[in-house]
Chain A
Amino acid sequence: MQPFTTLTGVAAPLDIMNVDTDMIIPKQYLKTIKRTGLGTGLFAEMRFNEDGTENPDFVLNKPAYRKAEILVAGDNFGCGSSREHAPWALLDFGIRCVISTSFADIFYNNCFKNGILPIKVSQEDLDKLMEDARRGANATMTVDLQSQEIHGPDGGVVKFDMDEFRKHLLLNGLDDIGLTMEKAPAIDSYESKAAKSRPWL
């Protein structure tokens, strides 16, 4: 996994509440057996018309945001399905950071497994960042995970909270399966205890 340290890029405003994972990546893209190439399906039903042409009104089709790397979105982002295709699609498109007032639990978890940083901010900070994002390609933001700060285009700084362990994994791009496998003795010992206390399992 690619480490996440700092990111400077264009932020796209997606001012919609409850953006669900069906919206992020519609089901017709879930038939792949790969993790890559899903960027073409990102927000497909909003990005494309029925005939496959681009919908010029959708934010990521506007010239200023075609190379956006940060998404500023409404409350409860990523609700619904557990499909990890949602972060895979964001990543494949080039988005490595999503900022919202809240995230659905499973999506939030899935982001960290893919080097994407989901940032929770207050409604007041979100309104400000949304306003910044609306200014387009000239207004870039810098996200610094180490210092847990978002630097807006006018030098304004928004601090954010982050779980220490998740931050550590993300900063270093660590594979958590490898880390867990180092705990094999603890898993072995749990299994032998459980085999005695709950032998029917």
Chain B
Amino acid sequence: MANPSAPRTLYDKIWDDHVVDTQPDGTCLLYIDRHLVHEVTSPQAFEGLRLTDRKVRAPEKTLAVVDHNVPTSDRSHGISDPEAATQVAALAENAREFGIEYFNELDKRQGVVHIIGPEQGFTLPGTTIVCGDSHTSTHGAFGALAHGIGTSEVEHVLATQTLIQSKAKNMRITVDGKLPAGVTAKDIILAIIGEIGTAGGTGHVMEYTGEAIRALSMEGRMTICNMSIEGGARAGLVAPDEKTYAYLMGRPKAPKGMAWDMAKAYWETLVTDEGAHFDREIRLDAANLPPIVTWGTSPEDVVSVAGTVPHAADGHTEQKKAAIARALDYMGLKGGEKMTDIKLDRVFIGSCTNGRIEDLRAVAKAVEGKKVASTVSAMIVPGSGLVKLQAEEEGLDKIFKAAGFDWREPGCSMCLAMNADKLAPGERCASTSNRNFEGRQGFKGRTHLVSPVMAAAAAIEGHFVDVRNWG
């Protein structure tokens, strides 16, 4: 750090507190406080350790869980897909061999890796957190520097508890004003991605701030940080505050007693200083935001639910025109359709973006006493076993089942369709997940990203509806 008294951003502060070594060219060795491991991106990393006779340096700072390819049906009789079963067994064996705590597919604490980290209090403000999954950005909602890494880096962290990093630039996204009724954290982040594009945050860490961000629950902040990667930023951050501390207090892995007081005193210093430098600034007014739906095959392809699908001619460059034409063709759209005229075959509610208790409560409130349209098959996949238990304690499962939703076991499920939950070719889905890429939810499947309440309303009506004047 050149000048220790210069004002620093939240990112600068966390970074500075984790630098182990700096090379003359500025490349740093960064210490990693927390490492989350799942079954899909870790087997090759553990194999690498075995081949080189290396150990896991800090198994107590590592937590493993299965989520990506476990079925969301009853798992008590094993996993029938032999490849998925092999990966799950490999993680169990690797966790045992290297002494890492592991939540298996029958553990009530099992769930999507980015839901269980916060839930267990493993995710803490001011920490560095990595996982072989791009949605690790979720944990930034707690003021943790958290990002996805590849499998070689998973191996690097397992072996050394560090990562070789160059510092990213600082970007600040200020969301002023109050969200209108029916508009949610999901709509904020989709609007931001629509504004900056999927490469807009490349090379940056995004800090979200402003009245609308402060007003969000921890769940809402996680939804926002989760999709930072869809805006190209590996990490998103929200400075911790009383809501953060209230969420974490009493969680199994959160500090307790004197340690809590000491930690909290440190956490309270984790704010961007007045006058700190940002390389890029974006401002948005929450009060003007509508519910948002994606029409295409990139998360930047957003439109208001009250709007229409664009035409290829609307692209500003030849490349963009070609991209729109390709997306329209894939999505089975012509351009010009009203979003509320688009009919759905499937609805998926869940994922690390929107699979938390608050999301399920919002859905329950929207669908209570109603019925899923006869033309729609709708599933709800809780983000973790604990989310599922809580929803059932609150009776939400009864509301879902009565309305005709399929209530599943926790996992990543149809967010990436590695298990049996997937779209058939040509099927159109309203999804609360994070990616609408070609084939993401199944070969030739068509995904529209929306908030939980928008997905719920679409399930009931069989087409998109503007939830601001529905119900």
Contact = CB atoms under 8 A, between A and B. Distances in A.
Nearest to B57: A187
A72 interface: no
B162 interface: yes
Contacts of A186: 20-21, 29
A190 B20 contact: yes
A61 to B, nearest CB: 17
A139 interface: no
A50 B229 CA distance: 30
Contact of B31 (A17, A80, A110, A190): A190
Nearest to A112: B152
Interface residues of B, number: 80
B9 interface: no
Give the dominant DSSP class at A's interface: loop
Contacts of B153: 109-110, 113
A22 B435 contact: yes
B323 interface: yes
Given A80-B435, A180-B160, A183-B20, A18 B202 contact: no
A82 B134 contact: yes
Interface stretch (A5-13, A147-155, A193-201): A193-201
A80 B255 CA distance: 34
A113 B153 CA distance: 8
B199 A165 contact: no
A9 B9 CA distance: 45
Contact of A180 (B136, B156, B255, B444): B156
A107 to B, nearest CB: 8
B214 to A, nearest CB: 25
B263 interface: yes
A183 B366 CA distance: 55
Contacts of A201: 33, 61, 124, 127
A18 B323 contact: yes
Given A106-B148, A110-B150, A180 B164 contact: yes
Interface in A9-63: 15-18, 20, 22-23, 26-28, 30-35, 45, 50
Contact of B259 (A23, A26, A34, A199): A199
A74 interface: yes
Contacts of B84: 31
B47 to A, nearest CB: 7
A105 B48 CA distance: 23
- In this complex, which of B61, B155, B160 has the most chain A Cβ atoms within 10 angstroms of its Cβ? B160
A20 B40 CA distance: 18
A84 B151 contact: yes
A75 B234 CA distance: 17
Contacts of B29: 180, 183, 186-187
- In this complex, which of B48, B147, B150, B152 has the most chain A Cβ atoms within 10 angstroms of its Cβ? B150
Interface string A165-201: 1000000000011001101101100110010001111
Contacts of A105: 168, 202-203, 232, 234
B8 interface: no
B260 A165 contact: no
Interface in B305-334: 319-320, 322-323, 326
A22 B259 contact: no
B393 interface: no
A177 B234 contact: no
A75 B202 CA distance: 12
Contact of A35 (B44, B418, B443): B44
A104 B84 CA distance: 28
A76 B232 contact: yes
A200 B411 CA distance: 30
A164 B25 CA distance: 7
A26 B262 CA distance: 46
Contact of B150 (A20, A82, A184): A82
A161 interface: no
Interface string B425-445: 100000000010111100110
Nearest to A30: B40
Contact of A82 (B41, B52, B203, B320): B41
12 contacts: A17-B319, A20-B437, A27-B416, A31-B418, A34-B43, A76-B232, A81-B134, A87-B150, A177-B155, A180-B29, A181-B159, A201-B33
Interface of B: 17, 20-21, 23, 25, 27, 29, 31, 33, 40-41, 43-44, 47-48, 52, 54, 57, 61, 68-69, 81, 83-84, 86-87, 90, 124, 126-127, 132-134, 136, 147-153, 155-156, 159-162, 164, 166, 168, 198-199, 202-203, 229, 232, 234, 255, 259-260, 262-263, 266, 298, 319-320, 322-323, 326, 416-418, 425, 435, 437-440, 443-444
